[in-house]
């Protein structure tokens, strides 16, 4: 499979696509591929999140917000579990190459689908591709990869041994120190973000089964940050949604303790997505779902499904 990926990367005039509201793992993966396998451009049709923008600004990276896929010889997609996450882009050719670490789905109708759900981050897969091609990362490329590993592992809270080994390899190869890697993903939290977290806490609703608590809230921005705030307040699982006209978006986060007990948010939201014709998925402790519908109704579904899982987990103990 890596050989197929390398053949595609050897082509000229490439575009590398990342999912809507792209995070540092998606941007770090795309930036590393762009640096190591030129010429290529990055396209983020749904924009990038705050930390990813911070990473790009510090590395001097750029991206397009729209593109015509037919004008490129090769299309690559990284860290994106379904085509719907690239809306309004559509009509992906079968020659498209997908590199992803989420649960494999049947939504990608492509010839080359390099997917390994055992990886904590997509940047680990990109590093494997680089190593297979004999590419040594320079300092900027290493920082991009490390940023993705840091953010997708919750700054190592959810890291698995392969990620830690890969991170150490990057530090050795680039001679970068830990404080340099941490600094690229850190920035002072803005007043607007802190305000959003406080308002999210005010609007919070919660239920519990035994000692397990699920919380939900609504906001207009910073959904993931509000989720983390609710976890810090004591929730085991948090769902935070926003409504933009007829479309909704929900971010979800869970503590590692309930993930170890059997909860997998990515699988939960993928299941709900299938039932509601929405696009859901992600990792055990961090996931999201989006689509057309009423966010309050979807938050209720997420809460009820989680409560059912809590009951099952409690009965199994």
Per-residue pLDDT, 127: 98
Mean pLDDT of the chain: 94
Q: Stretch 81-90: mean pLDDT, rounded?
A: 92
Task: Enumerate the β-bridge partners of residue 305.
Answer: none
Per-residue pLDDT, 312: 92
Give the model confidence (pLDDT) of 218-246 as tens digits: 998 899 999 999 999 999 999 999 999 99
Per-residue pLDDT, 95: 96
CATH 3.10.310.40 domain extents, the chain: 193-316
Per-residue pLDDT, 214: 98
Task: Enumerate the β-bridge partners of residue 112.
Answer: 97
Q: Are the C-beta atoms of residues 166 and 195 closer than 8 Å to each other?
A: no
Q: Is the pLDDT of residue 300 over 90?
A: yes
Per-residue pLDDT, 105: 86
- Please report which confidence band the pLDDT of residue 168 belongs to, taking 50, 70 and 90 as the band edges: very high
Per-residue pLDDT, 186: 82
Per-residue pLDDT, 283: 86
Per-residue pLDDT, 185: 87
Q: Are the C-beta atoms of residues 235 and 215 closer than 8 Å to each other?
A: yes
- What would the two tokens of residue 196 be? 């959003």
Give the model confidence (pLDDT) of 22-70 as tens digits: 999 999 999 999 999 999 999 999 899 989 999 999 999 999 999 999 9
Give the model confidence (pLDDT) of 95-150 as tens digits: 999 999 998 888 899 999 999 999 999 999 999 999 999 999 999 999 999 999 99
pTM over 0.95: no
- Give the CATH number of domain 2-183: 3.90.1640.10
- Please report which confidence band the pLDDT of residue 290 belongs to, taking 50, 70 and 90 as the band edges: very high
Query: 193-316, what's its fold?
Result: Diaminopimelate Epimerase; Chain A, domain 1 (3.10.310)
């Amino acid at each position: 499979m890596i050989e197929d990926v390398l053949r595609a990367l050897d082509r000229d005039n490439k575009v590398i696509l990342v999912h809507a509201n792209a995070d540092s793992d998606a941007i770090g993966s795309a930036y590393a591929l762009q640096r190591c396998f030129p010429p290529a451009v990055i396209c983020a049709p749904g924009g990038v999140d705050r930390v990813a923008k911070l990473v790009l600004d510090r590395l001097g990276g750029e991206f397009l917000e729209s593109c015509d896929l037919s004008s490129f010889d090769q299309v690559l997609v990284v860290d994106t579990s379904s085509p719907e996450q690239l809306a309004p882009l559509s009509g992906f050719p079968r020659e498209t190459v997908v590199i992803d670490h989420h649960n494999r789905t049947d939504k990608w109708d492509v010839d080359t689908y390099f997917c390994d759900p055992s990886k904590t981050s997509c940047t680990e897969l990109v590093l494997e591709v680089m190593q297979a091609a004999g590419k040594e990362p320079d300092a900027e490329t290493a920082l991009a990869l490390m940023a993705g590993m840091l953010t997708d592992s919750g700054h190592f809270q959810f890291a698995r041994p392969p990620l830690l080994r890969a991170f150490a390899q990057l530090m050795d190869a680039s001679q970068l120190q830990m404080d340099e890697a941490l600094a690229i993903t850190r920035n002072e939290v803005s007043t607007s973000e802190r305000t959003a977290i406080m308002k999210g806490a005010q609007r919070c609703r919660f239920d519990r089964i035994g000692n397990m608590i699920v919380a939900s809230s609504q906001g207009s921005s910073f959904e993931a940050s509000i989720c983390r705030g609710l976890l810090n307040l004591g929730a085991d699982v948090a769902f935070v949604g926003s409504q933009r006209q007829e479309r909704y978006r929900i971010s979800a986060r869970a503590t590692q303790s309930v993930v170890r007990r059997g909860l997998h948010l990515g699988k939960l939201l993928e299941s709900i997505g299938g039932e509601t014709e929405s696009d859901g998925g992600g990792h055990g402790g961090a996931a999201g779902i989006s689509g057309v519908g009423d966010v309050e109704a979807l938050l209720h579904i997420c809460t009820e499904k989680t409560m059912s899982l809590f009951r099952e987990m409690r009965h199994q103990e």
